[in-house]
């Protein structure tokens, strides 16, 4: 932050407030530092940070002063003009895109893309799983009922399980229809299996293990191992993003081609290369 002062303004400021630093006609005042957040710095470090800031401010003013050289000024003006033109072209193109862009992606498009590229583009890099996973303190009142509730498919029992696990949501995954990374599930509930995590997944449908402080319940409904093809629902969002990106690129190329062709016909653009 700085203030540019003429002789009269400089005198007025000097009467009101002594400056901290001055480079040419640029002044830095104590009030300029008030908004820099130094009040939140440890008192022992405040002087160091203020000195560092003032020195950086002074160096910046000195460098700006040296930039008055004509070659530097021309380079800056050229860069500013290039940036301005790029910005104008970008916003103009965005306006044209918004008029024509269709952001809707149908389920059929997603499914078609998945079928076409699933063997090459949608291979899992880690194990994933569907199920219900809990870590309940050994002293919990509901611990004896959890296993039967987990194994039940009745809606009423699932609601009871939700209510039972409400105090333990930080160590519970109850969204049985959602895919999760297997390692993330184990990390969330705090369970460290004695065997390889993938082997554990392959050899168990229900795991009931007593730890030192918790009892772990893992009901595995479905799983996919790394290097298998990812299920469609896992990559659906990614596919939609890919389709929209491709659609956007195609639209940009179409807009630019149409713009050039119309300009050539109207003789507002002449390109003299073959």
Whether 55 and 113 share a structural domain: no
Q: State yes or no: pLDDT of 199 exceeds 60.
A: yes
Residue carrying structure tokens 């700085």: 2
The pLDDT assigned to 225 comes to 96
Whether 29 and 115 share a structural domain: no
Q: What is the mean pLDDT of residues 187-197?
A: 91
Confirm whether pTM is higher than 0.85: no
Whether 214 and 174 share a structural domain: yes
Q: What is the mean pLDDT of residues 148-152?
A: 91
What proportion of the chain, given as a percentage, has pLDDT over 90?
Answer: 60
The pLDDT assigned to 12 comes to 52
Q: State yes or no: pLDDT of 141 exceeds 50.
A: yes
Q: Band the pLDDT of 6: cuts 50, 70, 90.
A: very low
Whether 135 and 220 share a structural domain: yes
Whether 161 and 205 share a structural domain: yes
Cβ-based neighbour number of residue 103 at 10 Å: 9
φ, ψ at 158 (rounded to 5°): -65, -35
The pLDDT assigned to 9 comes to 43
The pLDDT assigned to 42 comes to 57
The pLDDT assigned to 37 comes to 65
Whether 236 and 112 share a structural domain: yes
In a domain, 161, yes or no: yes
The pLDDT assigned to 15 comes to 45
CATH number at residue 200: 3.10.50
Whether 260 and 172 share a structural domain: no
Query: DSSP per residue over 34-46, as a string?
Result: GGGTGGGS-HHHH
In a domain, 53, yes or no: yes
Q: What is the mean pLDDT of residues 259-266?
A: 92
- CA-nearest of 133, 97, 42 to 258 is 97
Q: State yes or no: pLDDT of 181 exceeds 50.
A: yes
Six-digit token pair at 56? 């950086």
Q: What is the mean pLDDT of the chain?
A: 88
Query: Angle at the Cα of 63 (from 39 to 71), degrees rounded to 5?
Result: 150
Query: Angle at the Cα of 149 (from 148 to 153), degrees rounded to 5?
Result: 105
The pLDDT assigned to 70 comes to 75
Tell me how far apart the alpha carbons of residues 173 and 218 are, in angstroms, rounded to a whole number: 10
Least-confidence region, from 6-15, 163-172, 244-253: 6-15
Kindly report, residue by residue over 36-95, the tens digit of the pLDDT.
766 555 556 677 888 888 999 999 988 888 777 777 888 888 889 999 999 999 999 999
Q: State yes or no: pLDDT of 131 exceeds 80.
A: yes
In a domain, 99, yes or no: no
In a domain, 253, yes or no: yes
Whether 211 and 249 share a structural domain: no
Whether 220 and 259 share a structural domain: no
Q: State yes or no: pLDDT of 4 exceeds 90.
A: no
Contacts of 255 (CB under 8 A, 6+ apart): 93, 96, 97, 100
What proportion of the chain, given as a percentage, has pLDDT over 70?
Answer: 90
Least-confidence region, from 32-41, 173-182, 259-268: 32-41
Number of domains in the chain: 3
Range of the domain at 27: 3-66
The alpha helices in the chain, defined as continuous H runs, are 7-16, 30-33, 43-66, 70-100, 107-121, 143-151, 155-165, 182-189, 197-203, 232-265
Whether 181 and 240 share a structural domain: no
In a domain, 150, yes or no: yes
Q: By three-state DSSP, how is residue 48 classified?
A: helix
Whether 252 and 175 share a structural domain: no
In a domain, 98, yes or no: no
Whether 259 and 185 share a structural domain: no
The pLDDT assigned to 5 comes to 43
In a domain, 273, yes or no: no
In a domain, 171, yes or no: yes
């Amino acid at each position: 932050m700085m203030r540019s002062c003429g002789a009269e303004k400089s005198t007025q400021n000097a009467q009101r407030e002594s400056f901290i630093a001055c480079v040419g006609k640029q002044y830095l005042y104590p009030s300029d530092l008030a908004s820099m957040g130094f009040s939140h710095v440890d008192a022992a470090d405040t002087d160091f940070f203020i000195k560092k800031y003032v020195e950086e401010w002074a160096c910046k003013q000195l460098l700006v002063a040296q930039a008055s050289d004509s070659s530097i000024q021309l380079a800056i003006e050229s860069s500013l003009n290039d940036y301005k033109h790029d910005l104008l072209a970008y916003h103009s193109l965005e306006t044209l895109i918004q008029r024509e862009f269709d952001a809707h992606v149908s389920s059929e498009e997603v499914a078609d893309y998945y079928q076409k590229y699933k063997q090459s583009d949608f291979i899992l890099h880690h194990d994933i799983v569907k199920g219900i996973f809990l870590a309940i303190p050994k002293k919990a009142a509901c611990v004896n009922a959890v296993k039967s509730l987990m194994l039940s498919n009745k809606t009423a029992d699932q609601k009871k399980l939700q209510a039972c696990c409400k105090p333990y949501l930080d160590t519970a995954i109850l969204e049985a229809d959602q895919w999760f990374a297997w390692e993330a599930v184990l990390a969330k509930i705090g369970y460290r299996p004695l065997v390889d995590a993938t082997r554990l997944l392959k050899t168990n449908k229900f795991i009931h293990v007593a730890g030192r402080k918790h009892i772990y319940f893992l009901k595995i409904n479905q799983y996919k191992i790394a290097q298998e093809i990812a299920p469609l629902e896992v990559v659906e969002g990614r596919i939609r993003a890919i389709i929209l990106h491709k659609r956007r690129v195609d639209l940009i190329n179409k807009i630019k081609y149409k713009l050039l062709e119309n300009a050539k016909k109207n003789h507002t653009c002449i390109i003299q290369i073959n």
